[in-house]
Amino acid sequence: MDVIFDILKYALPSVFLLILAYMMLSNFMENEEKRRHYFLKKETQKTSIPARLAAYERLALFLERITPSQLIVRVSSKNLNVRQYQGLLVKTIRSEYEHNVSQQIYISDRAWKYIVTSKSAIVSIINQLAGELDPESPGIELGKKVINHFMEMDAEPSRKALAYLKSELSREL
């Protein structure tokens, strides 16, 4: 019995020290892992923030470029009839969209939905207004009708999307 007691007398403090060392070491390793993760995240943000800002800039430019008043001024209706001009306007919007579609990975899903909805609404309104005109009349008639229609709107779809992009960006910075 004395032998067991002597063994426990020396083994118990060793076991206690072993458990204490294990707990301290695991706590240290956990803190080290958190520190490494923090620095990795910080380093990643150094490269991702400029890319995200560039995406917001490109999408803001996209929204400005498809704003009907800007679009009509930029895309000439010279020598085109309504049908041809409608096709050219829609093609220009889709081309701009396809050029910027990769930017969706840098913004939230909700912001991207605003972008897509804005583009779709503008295309839909252009198509609707073109349908109200004689397809063979001069394209400038469609340009005037589109500008007048969007001037009467409370808020253009592209302006709503741009406002959302700005608010999202200000929340993130």
Task: Kindly report, residue by residue over 89-138, the tens digit of the pLDDT.
Answer: 999 999 999 999 999 999 999 999 999 999 999 999 999 999 999 999 99
Q: What distance in Å separates the CA atoms of residue 171 and residue 161, rounded to the nearest whole number?
A: 15
Taking the CA atoms of residue 98, residue 104, residue 110 and residue 114 in that order, the dihedral angle to the nearest 10 degrees is: -30
Could you tell me if 135 and 148 are in contact, meaning their C-beta atoms sit under 8 angstroms apart?
Answer: no
Task: Kindly report, residue by residue over 24-81, the tens digit of the pLDDT.
Answer: 999 999 999 999 999 888 887 788 888 899 999 999 999 999 999 999 999 998 899 9
Domain map (residue ranges) of the chain: 49-172
Q: Give the confidence band of 14 by pLDDT, cuts at 50, 70, 90.
A: confident
